[in-house]
């Protein structure tokens, strides 16, 4: 088998659904920015060298339907010879895209490819515009269609993750993101043209501005403030807007190459894609997924949790993130994840509670954040992981190329 390498990995900012800077920007335009961003940051490579663009999208319909990967490949100026395909595994869709492109490179079926992701949660709502669950199957097995927030409540109740634990974790996620923003950490962000419609002389006119930061980060967050928020998914529950991932708009893209292409185009990779795993769990507690997927991917590589220098794990909800950290032996050692610790290794620059979770974009977004930070710190092994609606977890292992 050949090896597959990440050469460049970028993302747009993540911005709040409906209330944020990208709410009126079509998903095609977000993806176009990410694809052009990844090419502009790879000097010496022509668009024509890219054989295929794979795009993860969790609700690939309406504006983000019609095989958005192929549509946007052409919008972004790739030639007809660059193909496009859209894939869906909900929250891991674009990590799946990166993994599938890796596999194609490893097999020798392709040598230059992009794995990407997009989601406009403002324009296409979570659940889609016209959900149509199978009627008899819904009656027999409703869990596969269950609200993600209810699964977070289930994890909290079953594994005794208290409201206080969730709010404390959420506070640290916000504070890590605040510190990272101030320190200019998110170098993987591509400044993104954003549209807004304003009324002028009785008609709506499109204005475009540049957005270059994640707009869901809340510097004013306090544990006391979080404790006052009402629960959203169960009257007597513990999951709130403050300890859940934010619903967000964004796109991200990762350029992958095989060894021959690296030589041919004189490119230096950032990281090698070592392994990828998915793990199935119960639908009604889908958030436990990373607790199964991460050990699985580590076993494939003969590594242990202690060998990993950075974890980037999607914070769909604080309850499930805490459960997964407990299972990995990370939670009890607060120095490994606290915003006040210099030796933290878990979501070091904040997670989806502060930065948002644009569903189909998240896999490629977290990849960009992780490989950027691995390079900054000189960390050898990094793990990315997330839970997935329907009851799954996904995890990928990356190795820094010095």
Mention every residue, 6+ apart, whose C-beta is less than 8 A from residue 387.
91, 286, 287, 288, 289, 290, 314, 316, 320, 324, 393
Q: Is 241 in the site for ligand COA (CB under 6 A)?
A: yes
* Binding window for ligand COA (CB under 6 A); candidates: 244-252, 295-303, 323-331, 377-385: 244-252
Rounded CA-CA distance 402/270 in Å is 8
- 3-state DSSP call for residue 128? coil
Q: Is 351 in the site for ligand COA (CB under 6 A)?
A: no
CB 313 within 8 A of CB 396: no
Q: Is 362 in the site for ligand COA (CB under 6 A)?
A: no
Q: Is 53 in the site for ligand COA (CB under 6 A)?
A: no
Catalytic residue (one of 15, 57, 172, 357) = 357
Rounded CA-CA distance 68/46 in Å is 21
Q: Is 131 in the site for ligand COA (CB under 6 A)?
A: no
Q: Which residue in the shown chain puts its C-beta closest to ligand COA?
A: 148
* Binding window for ligand COA (CB under 6 A); candidates: 160-168, 177-185, 238-246, 299-307: 238-246
Rg for the chain, CA atoms, rounded:
20
* Binding window for ligand COA (CB under 6 A); candidates: 66-74, 105-113, 201-209, 217-225: 217-225
Between helices 318-328 and 163-182, what is the axis angle to 10°? 90
CB 277 within 8 A of CB 10: no
Q: Is 229 in the site for ligand COA (CB under 6 A)?
A: yes
- Please confirm, yes or no, whether 91 is among the known catalytic residues: yes
Count of positions on this chain that bind ligand COA (CB under 6 A): 20
Our CB check for ligand COA shows the closer of 237 and 382 to be 237
Of the residues 38, 189, 316, 370, which one makes contact with ligand COA according to CB under 6 A: 316
- Please confirm, yes or no, whether 324 is among the known catalytic residues: no
Rounded CA-CA distance 129/186 in Å is 33
Q: Is 288 in the site for ligand COA (CB under 6 A)?
A: no
Q: Is 246 in the site for ligand COA (CB under 6 A)?
A: yes
Our CB check for ligand COA shows the closer of 185 and 357 to be 357
Rounded CA-CA distance 338/80 in Å is 48
**Least distance between ligand COA and beta carbon 248 (Å):** 9
Q: Is 360 in the site for ligand COA (CB under 6 A)?
A: no
Of the residues 42, 102, 166, 247, which one makes contact with ligand COA according to CB under 6 A: 247
Neighbouring C-beta atoms of residue 222, cutoff 10 Å: 13
Rounded CA-CA distance 132/122 in Å is 20
Two tokens, residue 377 = 């710190």
Comparing C-alpha atoms, which of 376, 374, 372 is closest to residue 399?
Answer: 374
User: In residues, how long is the chain?
Assistant: 402
Our CB check for ligand COA shows the closer of 47 and 158 to be 158
Angle at 181 between CA 176 and CA 187, to 5 degrees: 115
Our CB check for ligand COA shows the closer of 21 and 110 to be 21
- Please confirm, yes or no, whether 357 is among the known catalytic residues: yes
DSSP codes, 175-194: HHHHHHHHTT--TTBPPEEE
Of the residues 150, 232, 300, 305, which one makes contact with ligand COA according to CB under 6 A: 232
CA distances from 293 to 160, 254, 298, 324 (A): 22, 22, 9, 10
* Binding window for ligand COA (CB under 6 A); candidates: 1-9, 185-193, 197-205, 225-233: 225-233
Our CB check for ligand COA shows the closer of 93 and 247 to be 247
Q: Which residues bind ligand COA (CB under 6 A)?
A: 91, 148-149, 174, 218, 221, 225-226, 229, 232, 241-242, 244-247, 316, 357, 387, 389
- Which residues are tagged catalytic? 91, 357, 387
């Amino acid at each position: 088998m050949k090896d597959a390498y990440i050469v460049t990995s970028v993302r747009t900012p993540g911005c709040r659904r409906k209330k944020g800077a990208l709410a009126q920007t079509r998903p095609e335009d977000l993806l176009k920015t990410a694809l052009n961003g990844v090419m502009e940051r790879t000097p010496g490579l022509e668009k024509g060298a890219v054989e295929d663009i794979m795009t993860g999208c969790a609700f690939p319909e309406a504006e983000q339907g019609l095989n958005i990967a192929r549509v946007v490949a052409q919008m972004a100026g790739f030639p007809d010879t660059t193909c496009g395909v859209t894939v869906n595994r909900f929250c891991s869709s674009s990590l799946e895209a990166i993994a599938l492109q890796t596999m194609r490179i490893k097999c020798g079926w392709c040598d230059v490819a992009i794995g990407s992701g997009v989601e406009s949660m403002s324009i296409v709502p979570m659940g889609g515009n016209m959900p149509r669950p199978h009627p008899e199957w819904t009656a027999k097995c409703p869990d596969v269609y269950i609200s993600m927030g209810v699964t977070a409540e289930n994890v909290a109740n079953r594994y005794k993750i208290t409201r206080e634990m969730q709010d404390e974790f959420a506070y640290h996620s916000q504070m890590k993101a605040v510190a990272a923003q101030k320190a200019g950490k998110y170098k993987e962000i591509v400044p993104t043209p954003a549209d807004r419609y304003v009324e002028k002389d009785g008609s709506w006119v499109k204005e475009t501005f540049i957005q270059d930061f994640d707009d869901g980060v809340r510097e004013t967050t306090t544990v006391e403030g979080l404790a006052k928020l009402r629960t959203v998914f169960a009257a007597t529950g513990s999951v709130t807007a403050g300890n859940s991932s934010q619903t967000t708009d964004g796109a991200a893209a990762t350029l992958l190459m095989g060894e021959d292409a690296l030589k041919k185009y004189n490119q230096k990779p950032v990281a090698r894609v070592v392994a990828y795993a998915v793990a199935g769990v119960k639908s009604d507690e889908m958030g436990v997924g990373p607790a199964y997927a991460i050990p699985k991917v580590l076993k494939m590589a003969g590594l242990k949790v202690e060998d990993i220098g950075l974890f980037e794990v999607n914070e769909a909800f604080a309850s499930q993130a805490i459960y997964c950290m407990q299972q990995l032996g990370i939670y009890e050692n607060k120095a490994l994840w606290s915003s006040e610790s210099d030796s933290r290794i878990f979501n070091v620059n904040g997670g989806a509670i502060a930065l948002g979770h644009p569903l189909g974009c998240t896999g490629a977004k977290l990849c960009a954040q992780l490989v950027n930070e691995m390079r900054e710190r000189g960390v050898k092994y990094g793990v990315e992981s997330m839970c997935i609606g329907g009851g799954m977890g996904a995890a990928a292992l990356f190795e820094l190329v010095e």
